[in-house]
Amino acid sequence: METQDYASLRLRDEVIDKGLCPLCGGCAGGCPYLGQYKGKIVQLDCCTLVDGSCYRNCPRTYTDLDALSQSVFGQPFSSDEMGVVRGAYLARATEPTVRAAAGGGGVVAALLAASLGAGIIDAVVTTSVSSDDPEVLPARNPVGALAGDETPVPVLARGKDEVLTHVAAVHRMARVLAGFNSIPKESGEALGMVCLPCQVASLRKRTSGPPDSRTGIENVRLLIAEFCAAKRWLEPGEDRQVTNKACSYCWDYTGELADISVGSGRAKFQDWNAVLVRSEAGMRAFEAACDGGAIERQPLPDENLAAEKKASMDKKRRAVRNIIDTTGDRNNMLYLGMPRPIVDALLVEA
């Protein structure tokens, strides 16, 4: 067998060395060979697996969006501006303390807390900035385990108060996939996850190619996406937020493969959130939180809806343009398995 067939080497060659990795964390944390160090995925030793989950489930290796959409929503990838949307709302946590702790409308915190209370989920994979936290998920490799002051670490939160503390953490998005990877295979806990769109794609890819040594993707019962324009987390060793170049190839602003997507209420509604409910699971959790009084909602105002649709389409157009600028070939879309008619329509408008 040729060494270039090894999954970890293909990942390095096709994704990391090409500047396509937004450091979603999907390949780190549960693997002894790959870890995160100073804002990069590093290979600690040579893994000889050919069909490794690092490559298979990376959101920047070929991603068939039709297939993923079928598995999540039972329908092909949507050509609508923001994907499959069953309901679009302006919503907020009814408790002012939740809004104050979580910032904005506090919908993510209220939704997770209500879902824990309703027994929809047992725990939330989230991030703490204290490695002394008793619920820290241990990484399986030494580089991923390096933690200094203020280094975000993945934790399992099981109660409302913990959820509020953790979702308010500054670096809350940084390590959730590495944390998920660290959960033992035997665990049957129903999980809530809050992810960026690239992390959502990494998780959804596991549905058809699950790693054998990690907790099952079917345990993720509520997958919430936060709208994302570009990378916005700090890595250990960085002292300011920087834009990751890999984000310029990212098409997904709202997290179109999530159960629910949550963004800000924009300038006019700063203590509210925009909420897009997408899947059956998302609808069940959101309705339960509204019915139980944890969240209040109203239809998303037309101007907010129009602004989010525009932001979403702008990001798609930018991504396809940047990808083609890089490959120099309109038929080489790198990782992006978006249906061709949708790509062509974006190119006409780009």
User: Which residues contact ligand SF4 by CB under 6 A?
Assistant: 11, 15-16, 21-27, 41, 58-60, 196-198, 202, 228, 230-231, 244, 246-247, 250, 252
Q: Give Cα separations from 139 to 28, 66, 312 (angstroms).
A: 8, 33, 34
**How near is the Cβ of 317 to ligand SF4 at its closest, in Å?**
14
User: Which residues, other chains included, contact 33 with Cβ-Cβ below 8 Å and sequence gap of 6+?
Assistant: 8, 43, 44, 45, 46, 47, 141
Q: Can you tell me the distance from the alpha carbon of 106 to that of 91, in angstroms, rounded to the nearest whole number?
A: 9
Nearer to ligand SF4, 230 or 345 (CB): 230
Nearer to ligand SF4, 19 or 117 (CB): 19
Q: Can you tell me the distance from the alpha carbon of 268 to that of 149, in angstroms, rounded to the nearest whole number?
A: 37
**How near is the Cβ of 39 to ligand SF4 at its closest, in Å?**
11
Task: State the residue for tokens 């702008």.
Answer: 314
Nearer to ligand SF4, 41 or 305 (CB): 41
**How near is the Cβ of 186 to ligand SF4 at its closest, in Å?**
24
Nearer to ligand SF4, 139 or 246 (CB): 246
**How near is the Cβ of 217 to ligand SF4 at its closest, in Å?**
15
**How near is the Cβ of 193 to ligand SF4 at its closest, in Å?**
14
Instruction: Tell me the one-letter amino acid at 98.
Output: V
- Contact (Cβ atoms closer than 8 angstroms) between residue 300 and residue 294: no
Cα dihedral 83, 88, 90, 95 in deg (nearest 10): -100
**How near is the Cβ of 163 to ligand SF4 at its closest, in Å?**
22
Nearer to ligand SF4, 24 or 217 (CB): 24
**How near is the Cβ of 100 to ligand SF4 at its closest, in Å?**
26
Nearer to ligand SF4, 166 or 316 (CB): 316
Nearer to ligand SF4, 18 or 266 (CB): 18
SS3 assignment, position 322: helix
* CB atoms closer than 10 angstroms to residue 306: 12
Nearer to ligand SF4, 160 or 171 (CB): 171
Give the neighbor-by-neighbor strand order of the sheet with 153-157: 153-157, 123-128, 191-195, 220-226, 260-264, 273-277, 87-93, 295-299
Q: Can you tell me the distance from the alpha carbon of 107 to that of 99, in angstroms, rounded to the nearest whole number?
A: 8
Exposure string of 58-72, with b = 16+ CB inside 10 Å and e = fewer, is bbbbebbbebbbeeb
DSSP structure class, residue 217: G
**How near is the Cβ of 195 to ligand SF4 at its closest, in Å?**
9
Closest by CA position to 104, among listed 274, 228, 264, 326? 264
- Beta bridge partners, 192, equal 124, 222
**How near is the Cβ of 306 to ligand SF4 at its closest, in Å?**
21
Nearer to ligand SF4, 23 or 114 (CB): 23
